[in-house]
Chain A
Amino acid sequence: MTTTPVIDATGVTVDLGGTPVLRGVDLRVLPGEFVTILGANGSGKSTLVRALVGLIPHRGSIELFGTPLAQFGDRRRIGYMAQRPDMFSGVPATVTEVVLSGALSRRPRFGWPTRSDRAAAAELIDRVGLSRLAKRPITHLSGGQQQRAHIARALVANPDLVVMDEPMAGIDAHSAEVFARLLGELEERGTAIVMVAHELGPLAPLVDRAVHLEGGLVEYEGPAHGPGTHDHAHDHAHSSEPATTRPVPAEGPLGGQS
């Protein structure tokens, strides 16, 4: 039985302002997999996820759920959380309004949120522990609370793939725990997760596979067992597929991710 990959990207190349940022990256993500993209600043991590969700033009092939990205229309299946979601706005917006706007992937052209959208938003706001702040303007929240609201927005349409760009950056320990619990629940439900990270923290045990970028190329790819166990990662010959056969060095990409 063959499973259609959630993401099947081959030879993804991106130039930004004439500078090559990604140079032929392959990435395959299966349903229910939790893949983390690691690498130094400027290695192309954010560019890769932005290309995967169609935010920047690329060369090479990207298929989502078996459909080429350009033709992919079922946007409800993707939840995206940018590195620094736009938090400043000229006009106030409550946590509920921001989270509820995520449900628009079900009706992106026209239509108001339905009762079930509102119920889903209220439930997610509760799951990220923001019920008490639901009617507050989002700009009144702390950085960690805002990130929790933004993950709730990414999840409110019940996506099958969640793409997150450094969601853990600069958040407090409590928010990190809330994230870990939420992503654990998603994984159990079979949602695929692709997450750019500098530090995995409490998420480390959840991650199935790590992809390490360097200079716009996949430097290492392999299983990730979390801090302290990365040296058990299997060494394999470099190959374009399946993704889990790429080598992970003894001092792998998770080294220092505790």
Chain B
Amino acid sequence: MNEATNKTNEVILSVQEVSKSFGGVRAVVGVSFDLRRGELLGIIGPNGSGKTTLVNLITGFVKPDSGSVKYEGQDITGWMPYRIARLGIARTFQMIRPFAELPAFKNLIIPLFSPRVKTLSGGKYGDLDSVAKDLLEEVGFERESSVTYKAAGSLPHGYLKRLELAKCLALRADLIILDELFSGLSIAELASIVPIIEKLMVEGKTVIMIEHRLRELFRIANRVVVLNYGHAIADGKPSEVMERDDVKQAYLGTE
């Protein structure tokens, strides 16, 4: 029991003073935060405030100019993206580009083929097709329905988002970073995708969500970090953070 409580409180990801400039643009400036296991952290901010760059810094797609990123106590600053993914950090992309020619379930073969999954399943791959179909069912593809077999390029938007989520599940990630997962979804689609994220939280996963749809985000997030011009200007409970004047100003502009 004691051990379990320790585990839930443990810092899983620690971002310390990371900065990144592209040419003259300071995309991320000295951002720091700690993330505990089981938290759902929202990262919000106006367009161009550096949210996606921050995710790219954590997942290795962009190397920071300064600062460090630690995952489970291990310094992963400047690692290649595939090494970071193998530790159990999965992410989705803002611009979703599925493996268009492949049927939906075959898209999951790629994460299922990763060395991480092989190690976790005891060194064997087994029948990946059936594992893939199970995963799709978990994210709300109807079992043996035609969408499962449809080319991913022709899937409706809602299903594409679910497919992205399923890729994270396939990797058996502990930390899942969702870059604007809710964007472009209808209310009905959201209503079916939110429970999947809630289920992840129950399973003890840690989630970071970059979102513009604040109302939906605040219903599930325990904590938010607000970025503005690359600076983290606020960090705290959603209700408290949104009361702050500087946050309102960043969102609504100066009067």
Q: Specify whether A and B are partners.
A: no
